[in-house]
Amino acid sequence: MDITKPIHIAYFSGTGGTALVVEALKNTLLNKGQKVTTTDISKNKFKEVKDDFLIIIYPVYAFNAPKPIEKWLERISQVHKSSHAAVISVSGGGEISPNTSCRRRVIRLLEQKNYVVRYESMVVMPSNFAVAYDEVVSAMLLRALPLKVNEIANEILSGKLYRKNPLVIDRLFSRLGLMERLFSGKIFGKNLKTTDGCTGCSWCSKQCPTGNISISKNKPVFHDKCVLCMRCIYGCPHNSIVPGIGKFIVLKNGYNLKEISANTAYLKVFPPVKSITKGILLIGVRKYLEKYYL
């Protein structure tokens, strides 16, 4: 089955990794002659997608999709059963346990809207949560991105049917991961703080995808709608937003993919994948990179 319908990509991106994936995939599909439109859900945009081939792309949060993705899917209309969809998740860990069930809830929501989900995949990007990757590893992931999205585009356009069967234990992890929403909104998000470097510029309140931040007396006020996307912390122009609790999840040196690309632009040759992806935490990254680096 060749894809002849227009393609619509709906996505959520917190700190920019997923947005890069979407841009790369969109350009690849356009170069292959496809008509492509996009919706950035993090900007609270809503658009009916009618009978387009729908691709949902999002970062993995606690073994699930971010809550805004699920809320958006709940709003879209029922479609004809001839409408097809694909789901692409983005993570720093890769397609290994406990992430193998991270697309299951989204697929079920799509099926409830009569979509036939034909394809799913995982893109690995540099980690922005708890564990910082070596810049060389991050550079290798970024340079593998065009190869990965070209592979995804070819498989989708050829009509390939590719569905995964999540591990039973990971289905449990996915359900337990929903408790993270209580932590992120009620605890982590509400306990964010600003340092003396805060100028009250309101960048954070304008950028927050859930309206968790308001400005009062020229200072940010944090509420209980946080989804732990980390955009305000890593994106603050003055590096002035810090967590009151859960400090271990924030990378000490921040997270800026443009800086990573600039800092590693000189690299022409990379070391063997196994030599720089040692340890249990990088198993998924190692498996992913070995496809693109001999």
Quick check: 212 and 17 in contact, CB under 8 A? Answer: no
* pLDDT tens for the chain, residues 1 to 294: 456 789 999 999 999 999 999 999 999 999 999 999 999 998 876 777 776 899 999 999 999 999 999 999 999 999 987 899 999 999 999 999 999 999 999 999 999 999 999 999 999 999 999 999 999 999 999 999 999 999 999 999 999 999 999 999 999 999 999 988 878 878 999 999 999 999 999 999 999 999 999 999 999 999 999 999 999 999 999 999 999 999 999 999 999 999 999 999 999 999 999 999 999 999 999 999 999 997
Are the C-beta atoms of 21 and 60 separated by less than 8 Å?
no
Domain count of the chain? 2
Range of the domain at 34: 7-174
Asked if residue 88 and residue 139 are part of one domain, the reply reads yes
Question: Are 184 and 103 in the same domain?
Answer: no
Provide the sign of the torsion angle of the four alpha carbons 132, 138, 142, 148, taken in this order: negative
Which amino acid appears at position 231 of this protein?
A: R
Asked if 195 and 169 sit in the same domain, the reply is: no
> Looking at the structure, do residues 72 and 216 belong to the same domain, yes or no?
no
The per-residue pLDDT for 182 is 77
> What is the length of the chain?
294
pLDDT of residue 180: 83
Among 233, 214, 185, 222, smallest CA distance to 14 is for 233
Phi, psi of 200, rounded to the nearest 5 degrees:
70, 30
Give the pLDDT score at 143.
98
Q: What is the pTM assigned to this prediction?
A: 0.96
Quick one: 12 and 121 in the same domain? Answer: yes
**Residue 165 belongs to domain with CATH number:** 3.40.50.360
Integer angstrom CA distances of residue 246 from 108, 183, 190, 228: 31, 10, 12, 11
Q: Which of 126, 120, 69, 64 is nearest to 93 (CA)?
A: 126
| Domain end among 136, 157, 174 | 174
pLDDT at 2: 52
Q: List the CATH number of the domain containing 223.
A: 3.30.70.20
Which pLDDT value is given to residue 49? Answer: 76
